Structure 1
Amino acid sequence: MHYLWKANNLGSIWVQKDALLQFLRCRLPFGYECEDVSFVAEEGRLYLFLVRPDSDLRQVEALVADLERDLKKIGFSSVRVGWALKEEAPSMPEPGRLYMHPLFWAVLASAIVAFVQLGFWRSLVVCIAGLAGYGVAHFTIVRGKVTPSNPLRCRRR
């Protein structure tokens, strides 16, 4: 999306929303995210919608001051920042309540049908193939992230 920024008799200047988002995401420290940008051309005002981890308010205020300074250097007359706290990722069900999760029942029903239809040894081969597929998927998905199960990976940013 493009926003009309300034116009005069020589032409007009347009601002691309994706370029602003990319610029802001590069400027934010680790853990902070820029969700959206809005622009009011008549006032030259830029609205930023940021998500922050639960951190010190002095650090947040310093970050806002830095962003305002940098964006005013570019030519925006004023910058308004809206904050939201980052939500925690949903956790897996408690081990004692695993039977309450629908995925548990789907896996159990599949295992019973596989055992009845294929027999013990073929079912064992299917389970080994499933575990191998899970391992490959887990490795490729977690490859770029720092998690407790993958502590040797480097953080990006």
Structure 2
Amino acid sequence: MKNIGTLEELYKQYKPLIYSYFYYQTGNKPISEELCQEVFLKAFKGLQSFRQECSVKTWLYTIAHNLYVSWYRREMKYDMVALDDMEEIKLQSEVFIPEDSIERREKAEKVRKVLNELKEEHKNVLIMCDVMELSYAEIAQLMNWSMSQVKINVYRARIQFKTLFEKEGEVI
């Protein structure tokens, strides 16, 4: 087995991306943090069995995606109320301009709202492609789809997202 780095290195490198994936999916910081920790716990337990048939990034996203699907099925049986729906998204800007902060936060809220209106399949593929920056090949492997199926779903998801986003009064 090639050296894929220590768990600490993997955690430092991929934790922000995995956390973002969960945050875009759930819109809830505490749940996103909990699910993120669970991914790395599962990765730690499964590190010895990792056969390197895919990249570490794809392997971690596979764990994250499967964990999210399980969580979603379990949690959506009940009416869930997000306690921190309006919680502010952290902005990473050296210069703080209040108007810009408000505009970015409002736009981020609209993006999350529109994402949540998409079919689950389209939401997932957009987050994987445009937010997490996975390649089509990585998405195909993760979703167990053909490359053409990924391309078609990304195309359709982007059109649906653009249409819904423009209805919200924003232009992409």
Q: Same fold (TM over 0.5)?
A: no
- TM-score by length of structure 1 reads 0.27
User: Which has the larger share of helix?
Assistant: 2
- TM-score by length of structure 2 reads 0.25
User: Which has the larger share of strand?
Assistant: 1
Larger radius of gyration: 1
Higher RCO (CA < 8 A, seq sep 6+): 2
